[in-house]
Amino acid sequence: MTDNRIDYYPTHEHEGIKFRRGHTLPFGATMVANGVNFSIYSSASTSCTLVLFERGEAEPFAEIPFPDEFRIGNVYSMIVFELNYERLEYGYRMDGPYNPAAGLRFNKSLILSDPYAKVIGGRDTWLNKPNWDNVYQYRSRLAFEDFDWEHDHPLETPIEDLVIYEMHVRGFTKHESSGVKNPGTFSAIRSKVAYLKELGINCVELLPIYEFDEWENSRESPTTGEVLVNYWGYSTVNFFAPKAGYAATGKFGMQVDEVKTLIKELHKSGIEVMLDVVFNHTAEGDHRGPTISFRGIDNKTYYMLTPEGYYFNFSGTGNTLNCNNPVVRNMVLDCLRYWASEYHIDGFRFDLAAILGRAQDGRPLSNPPLLESLAFDPILAKCKLIAEAWDAGGLYQVGSFPAYGRWAEWNGKYRDSVRKFLKSDPGEVGGMIQRVMGSPDLYSLRGPTASINFITCHDGFSLYDMFAYNEKHNEANGENNNDGANDNNSWNCGWEGETSDPAINFLRHKQVKNALAILLVSQGVPMVLMGDEVGRTQKGNNNTYCQDNDLNWFDWTQQETNADLYNFARGMINFRRVHPVLRSPTHFQYWDYVGSGYPDISFHGTKAWNCDRSASSRSFAFLLCGDHAKQGIVKDDMVYVAMNMYWGGLHFELPALPPEKKWYLFANTDMPSPVDIYENGQESLLANQSDFLVGSRSVVILIGK
Amino acid sequence: MNVTSSTVEAITVIEASGSIDSKTAPEFERTAIAAIQGQKEVIIDLTNVEFLSSAGLRVLLMIYRQVKTQSGKVVLVGTSEEIQDIMANTGFLSFFITVDTLDEGIKTLKAS
């Protein structure tokens, strides 16, 4: 090693450990020649001590107070020499006043995790019982950042071409039926890449993978006696470290390489990776919660506090991260840049993102600097940014989220319209017309790609349960069924829960297919919830955040037992992918701007060219002209979709095609499997080219070619 | 950890035993890097290695990268199932040819 730099040599010594003044940036612990550079910000502390552990040891092997001259501004930094990168665990003690009313909660008896740690030890194997007496529970560690990506690069798939699959890392393969090595891990997902590919998915959105503590608020289920845990993980311990318990190699501290290997593998199959990120709060809870990191390092910087020093709670979980404090803003930016560049992440979905637009005192900002910075960041320039555009404090911004030309939104109005329409509510046709067009009523200036369309997500009923339950059944959560949403717009098809009645079961499956069909022919970006393609059930539980069991795990036998649903879902997803006319990046213009003789989109009813939008109407059809696909850049077939949510069959007069084309049936949810859907290219020529009887509560898809 | 290098039928063989972690990896690296200089065919015999840490895996990849720049090949011999599993989970395995015995390793390299 060349040693022609002065800072290759220590200048200080403390109990045999050699060190010197460090570099203030970057924050965190960084490997440098001969040593490790530690840098941490704290505005209100009076002094800081670096605490060093041999991996897993109860007592630290050294505690080095930062000499005063090592602090520049509010940043302490030092380089410590001859540390064992791999065996090292570190933390900090911060000294300062304990004065909650002033927002100060220093306690130097505690050892604190580094907010910028790239690996966290302490919860290395999922549900391995921790030692609660450990003086330091969540240990900061170093990461090797030398991964061999070979030729990999984020995929940069146009957002309108994505089919997003929202999945839980553990839940996807934990069920014994998955038949994989290391079930429930990042690594195991690699064994199922072929499944995702066959299904037609080209983007997985992972529920939180930042380090969290599955033991947080753990307790016993009153109905099953099972331990209830923090299964979803919406409670971040550290924003830079992947969840060790999700890694087969977590016990060896190799989760960083394991996650990167998974991403590299997914990318090879053309599948993007999006992360569900939770910047609205942390795992430290309110004033009664544990002090893990932020609270003890700089409480009033990291959290939104009331004038009395208590925690604002716009997240419904006790605390709210102070996202528009410039220091915290930089941390969020550093974090996303790190995941985009170091992990090749393709996009981010921001949990309760309305909070990111609130000022430090909680007011919604008209021009939130954090959202603007993310939108214009050079490193995040090609990442998808998706907001859950509401928060638990009542700020609802669907259609009005500050987008800066970049941000897309989870379209909650899409979910509600489609659910109501599917259960035959009156007065929904007008809304549905907006939804299938990519919600121009909400996104007139932003285009359909601002709309992430979904009918179900982890939060709420699964798609099958939407048609098996009128009411939520959350007793297993131990909160007297008071948790979870009540406005589900679900319909049990005539019987609450499981039944052997074949007519009800046929209708339920038909409704699942109707939902998938509508979702996948709508403009915008569809998102499918893991397992909905095989009729996954949560037994009526619409808030399974704490259930580490069959309620959440993907049961792979359902691919056989509900083969009709799987076949239909796969067919619909791939239908979308072969028909660019379904994936417009801009809103329709309602006129024929390519000279095909048809407008880009037209609406129909039981009479062609006549759509009944009245309150009593429960059906409509639309026709997409393939010559207008991608604004006329590519040629596609004509696609005609009829949706009849009336409880009787209706004859739909078909719009006339140009003489050289004929109508072919692609899908008819009223038919039993396998004649409910055809392979792409194998569609069935219609005997009657002018009229189609659309069954009760059915969706019919035709193509004209 | 103990590490030795030898030449068998004109192929460089590096043999390690014990546990390769951040403490012992530097020695493994020094011996291995010295042995592979100018070599295109390298066998790393891990039959007697009980554990390979992150640092150990990185030495293997470093050897691979150096041999690869000369269009050479690296074969791992006798990698235990546990170590293979770790290497598969973390993406290191895909860079190497793995066989069970030294003889197989020599045959593999001679055949290619």
Give me the residue label for tokens 């990111």.
Answer: A356
Task: Tell the residue number behind the tokens 């109407």, with chain if given.
Answer: A617
**Cβ pair A513, A260 in contact under 8 A:** no
Q: Looking at the predicted structure, is the pLDDT value of residue B63 above 60? A: yes
Confidence at residue A34, expressed as pLDDT on a 0 to 100 scale:
86
Give the tens place of pLDDT for each residue, A358-380: 998 889 999 999 999 999 999 99
Facing A249 at nearest CB: one of B55, B65, B86: B86
- What residue of B is the nearest CA neighbor of A88? B22
C-alpha A646/C-alpha A620 separation (Å) is 10
Residue pair A197/A122 in contact (Cβ under 8 Å)? The answer is no
| Residue A69 near chain B (CB below 8 Å) | no
End position of a domain, from candidates A520, A555, A581: A581
Beta-carbon count within 10 A of A29 CB: 27
Q: Among partner residues B22, B61, B95, which is closest to A87 by beta-carbon distance? A: B22
Residue A184 has pLDDT above 90, yes or no: yes
**Which of A84, A181, A249 has its CB closest to that of B90?**
A249
Residues A73 and A183 occupy one common structural domain: no
DSSP string, B49-60: EEEE-HHHHHHH
Mean pLDDT of A333-358: 96
- Whether chain B has a CB inside 8 Å of the CB on A260: the answer is yes
Rounded Cα distance between A398 and A421, Å, is: 20
Q: Do A252 and B85 touch (CB under 8 A)?
A: no
Domain residues for the domain of A490 are 159-581
- Domain tally, chain A: 3
CA distance A92 to A620: 63
Q: What is the tens place of the pLDDT at every residue in A591-619?
A: 999 999 999 999 999 999 999 999 999 99
Q: What are phi and psi of B42, to 5 degrees?
A: -130, 135
Q: Does B62 touch chain A (CB under 8 A)?
A: no
For residue A328, pLDDT beyond 80: yes
Q: What is the mean pLDDT of chain B?
A: 95
Tokens for A88, please give them. 């090292």
Chain segment A258-315, per-residue pLDDT in tens = 999 999 999 999 999 999 999 999 999 999 999 999 999 999 999 999 999 999 999 8
Q: Are both A552 and A630 inside the same structural domain?
A: no
Tell me which chain A residues have a C-beta less than 8 angstroms from the C-beta of B65: 148
B90, B93, B95: best mutation site toward chain A, by most A Cβ within 10 Å? Answer: B90
List the CATH number of the domain containing A88: 2.60.40.10
Pairing of the two strands A203-206 and A164-167: parallel
Any A CB within 8 A of B66 CB: no
Query: Which distant-in-sequence residues (6+ apart) come within 8 Å of A420 by Cβ?
Result: A428, A431, A489
pLDDT at A1 (0 to 100): 52
Is A461 strand, coil or helix? coil
The H or E element containing residue A663 is strand A663-668
Question: How far apart are the two ends of chain A, measured CA to CA in Å?
Answer: 68
Distance CA A688, CA A662 (A): 10
Distance (Å, whole) CA A551 – CA A239: 28
pLDDT digits (tens, 9 = 90+) for A415-441: 999 999 999 999 999 999 999 999 999
Residue A149 located in a structural domain: no
Nearest CA-CA partner of A485 in A467, A472, A475, A476 = A472
Q: Which residue has the higher pLDDT, A145 or A652?
A: A652
Is residue A6 domain-resident? no
Q: Give the max Cα distance, chain B.
A: 36
Domain housing B50:
2-111
B51, B52, B54, best to mutate vs chain A, most A CBs in 10 Å: B54
d(CA A666, CA A680): 8
pLDDT category of residue B66 using cuts at 50, 70 and 90: very high
A255 and A116 within one domain: no
Together in a domain, A472 and A606: no
Nearest C-alpha in B relative to A189: B89
pLDDT at A578 over 80: yes
Position A246 scores a pLDDT of 98
| Mean pLDDT value of segment A147-172 | 97
Nearest residue of B to residue A247 by CA position? Answer: B89
Residue A408's Cβ-side half-sphere holds a number of Cα atoms within 13 Å equal to: 28
Residue in B83, B25, B86 with CA at minimum distance from that of residue B58: B25
| CATH number of the domain within which B65 lies | 3.30.750.24
In the prediction, which pLDDT does A647 show?
A: 97
Domain count, chain B: 1
A2 occurs within a structural domain? no
Question: DSSP letter string over B31-80?
Answer: HHHHHHTT-SEEEEEEEEEEEE-HHHHHHHHHHHHHHHTTT-EEEEES--
Mean model confidence pLDDT for chain A: 96
Contact B21/A86, CB-based, under 8 Å?
Answer: yes
CATH of the domain at A621: 2.60.40.1180
Residue count of chain B = 112
Residue A152 lies in a domain: no
The burial class, CB within 10 Å (0-12 / 13-18 / 19+), for A658 is: exposed
Give the per-residue pLDDT at A222.
86
pLDDT at A2 over 70: no
What pLDDT, on a 0 to 100 scale, did the predictor assign at position A438?
98
Q: What integer pLDDT is reported at residue A315 of this predicted model?
A: 87
Looking at residue A480, its amino acid is N
CB B70, CB B40: distance < 8 Å: yes
| CATH at residue A542 | 3.20.20.80
Q: How far apart are CA A449 and CA A584, in angstroms?
A: 8
Q: Residue A150: inside a domain, yes or no?
A: no
Q: Which residues of A touch B90 (CB under 8 A)?
A: 249, 254, 257-258, 261
Average pLDDT over every residue of B65-70: 93
pLDDT at B112: 76
Domain boundary (A556, A581, A606) is at A581
> Which CA distances in Å does A177 have to A148, A204, A444, A572?
33, 21, 46, 25
| Interface contact flag, B89 A146, Cβ < 8 Å | no
Q: Are A509 and A564 in contact (CB under 8 A)?
A: yes
Does residue A198 lie in a domain region?
yes
Q: Given CB atoms, is B90 within the 8 Å cutoff of chain A?
A: yes
Contact yes or no for A246/A185 (Cβ under 8 A): yes
Same domain, A374 and A249: yes
- Whether residue A396 is predicted with pLDDT greater than 80 in this model: the reply is yes
pLDDT for A3 beyond 80? no
In a domain, A471, yes or no: yes
Average pLDDT over residues A159-169: 98
Average pLDDT (B73-95) is 96
| pLDDT, position A317 | 87
pLDDT score of A268: 98
**Helix, strand, coil percent values for chain A (each to nearest 5):** 25, 25, 55
Q: In this structure, what token pair is assigned to residue A194?
A: 């072929």
Select the residue from B65, B89, B93 to test the A interface by mutation, using most A Cβ atoms within 10 A: B89
Residues A250 and A192 in one domain: yes
Do the Cβ atoms of A522 and A160 come closer than 8 Å? no
pLDDT > 70 in chain A, percent: 100
Domain boundary among A565, A581, A597: A581
Q: Which residue in B has a C-alpha nearest to residue A86's C-alpha?
A: B22
Confidence band of A316 (pLDDT split at 50, 70, 90): confident
For position A5, what pLDDT does the model report? 84
Query: pLDDT for A656-691, tens place per residue?
Result: 999 999 999 999 999 999 999 999 999 999 999 999
Residues A207 and A173 sit within 8 Å (Cβ to Cβ): no
pLDDT value for A111 = 98
β-bridge mates for residue A166, sequence order = A205, A529
A683 and A541 part of one domain:
no
Contacts of A367 (CB under 8 A, 6+ apart): A402
- Residue A84 CB neighbour total at 10 angstroms: 14
Both A428 and A568 in one domain: the answer is: yes
> B95 and A148: CB-CB below 8 Å?
yes
| Cα–Cα distance measured from residue A517 to residue A569, given in angstroms and rounded to the nearest whole number | 8
Q: Is the pLDDT of residue A337 over 60?
A: yes
Record: contact B90-A257, CB cut-off 8 A: yes
Does the structure show a pLDDT above 70 at B39?
yes
Binned at pLDDT 50, 70 and 90, residue A581 comes out as: very high
d(CA A686, CA A125): 57
Strand order in the sheet with B2-8: B2-8, B11-20, B41-52, B73-77, B97-99
